[in-house]
């Protein structure tokens, strides 16, 4: 096989895999959208209509009228935004401490334990964590949700930010200390500006993770409704009938912000993970 034949083979294999993966990912998204704009009576028509003949946006209107989706969206925005702010501040400070004081065994073990905590399934710690939160009256509160979301996002954030801090020369910090700068100045005026790509990457990925978080708001809230658990509140006419039209509309309402974020910030996500996931 000559060089030209190898190039042609690699071209078809590469693009074949690309289109295959894209097909597997995009077809379910397309089908969810089609189901969300299809009248209920046409969802299970035979033969299958891959594009509805009589499309409607009534399903989305019903979500706003019956389920107060705008309230869910506001609750999700508040909890997500405050959780991201807390995660960035605490994650950057923790990453700095782990990177600069890793020579101490206690700090090194603390870093390992933090990463290990991300491997524990939430359902295992749900009951003791619920009792702990209830003892402080934090169940079904915005503050409780923010604390829980922050604890879920911190391990990944610290891992990415830690490797970015390792790449920053200590000479910058030493020069600032000679000039009389304290820890707050060093952290917010030196490290934060230098770590903007990492912070942007962590914020984008954590935003997506927060929107997808299902177990935490389902288990720890009753009155505060979040978008991720909105599907569980879709009304049913009977126990044997599943309103796939409303469920699809709710699902697309949750997916759309994630798709837009990935489309606009895909370059930042890949660059941040690549640079922050490799030690120098």
Model pLDDT for residues 168-189, shown as the tens digit of each residue: 888 877 788 787 777 778 777 8
Residue 272 above 60 pLDDT? Answer: no
Residue 154 lies in a domain: yes
Residue 205 lies in a domain: yes
Report the mean per-residue pLDDT for the chain.
82
Residue 221 lies in a domain: yes
Residue 41 above 80 pLDDT? Answer: no
How many separate domains does the chain show? 1
Cβ contacts of 90 within 8 Å, gap of 6 or more: 150, 154
Residue 16 lies in a domain: no
The pLDDT, as a whole number, for residue 269 is 61
Residue 51 lies in a domain: no
For residues 30-55, average pLDDT? 80
Residue 201 lies in a domain: yes
Better pLDDT: 137 or 42: 137
Confidence of residue 145 (pLDDT cuts 50, 70, 90): very high
What's the number of CA atoms in the CB half-sphere (13 Å) around residue 89? Answer: 8
Angstrom distance (rounded) from CA 160 to CA 95: 8
Residue 121 above 90 pLDDT? Answer: no
For residues 125-150, average pLDDT? 91
The pLDDT, as a whole number, for residue 56 is 82
Helices and strands counted in the chain (H then E)? 12, 0
Residue 233 above 80 pLDDT? Answer: no
**Full domain range(s) for residue 143:** 68-235+255-276
The pLDDT, as a whole number, for residue 195 is 81
Q: What is the pLDDT of residues 71-111, one digit of tens each?
A: 888 998 899 999 999 999 899 888 888 888 877 778 888 88
Instruction: Find, among 24, 64, 69, 54, the residue nearest to 254 by Cα.
Output: 69
126, 219 Cβ separation under 8 angstroms = yes
Residue 146 lies in a domain: yes
The pLDDT, as a whole number, for residue 273 is 56
158, 113 Cβ separation under 8 angstroms = no
pTM for the full predicted model: 0.78
Confidence of residue 274 (pLDDT cuts 50, 70, 90): low
Angstrom distance (rounded) from CA 152 to CA 213: 9
* CATH value at residue 194: 1.10.3720.10
Residue 247 lies in a domain: no
């Amino acid at each position: 096989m000559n060089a030209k034949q190898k190039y042609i083979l690699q071209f078809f294999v590469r693009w074949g895999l690309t289109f295959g993966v894209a097909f597997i990912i995009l077809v379910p998204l397309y089908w969810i959208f089609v189901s969300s704009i299809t009248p209920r009576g046409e969802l299970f028509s035979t033969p299958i209509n891959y594009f509805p003949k009589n499309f409607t946006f009534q399903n989305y209107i019903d979500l706003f009228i019956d389920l107060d989706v705008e309230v869910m969206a506001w609750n999700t925005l508040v909890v997500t935004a405050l959780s991201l702010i807390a995660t960035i501040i605490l994650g950057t400070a923790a990453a700095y401490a782990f990177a600069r004081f890793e020579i101490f065994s206690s700090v090194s073990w603390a870093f390992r334990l933090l990463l290990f905590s991300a491997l524990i399934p939430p359902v295992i710690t749900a009951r003791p964590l619920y009792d702990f939160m209830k003892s402080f009256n934090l169940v079904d509160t915005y503050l409780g949700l923010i604390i829980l979301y922050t604890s879920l996002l911190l391990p990944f954030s610290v891992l990415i930010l830690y490797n970015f801090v390792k790449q920053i020369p200590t000479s910058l910090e030493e020069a600032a200390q000679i000039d009389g700068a304290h820890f707050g100045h060093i952290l917010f005026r030196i490290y934060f500006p230098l770590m903007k790509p990492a912070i942007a990457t962590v914020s984008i990925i954590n935003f997506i993770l927060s929107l997808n978080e299902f177990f935490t708001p389902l288990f720890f809230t009753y009155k505060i409704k979040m978008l991720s658990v909105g599907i569980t509140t879709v009304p049913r006419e009977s126990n044997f009938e599943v309103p796939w039209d409303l469920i699809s509309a709710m699902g697309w309402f949750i997916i759309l912000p994630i798709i837009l974020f990935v489309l606009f910030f895909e370059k930042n996500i890949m660059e941040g993970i690549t640079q922050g996931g490799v030690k120098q």
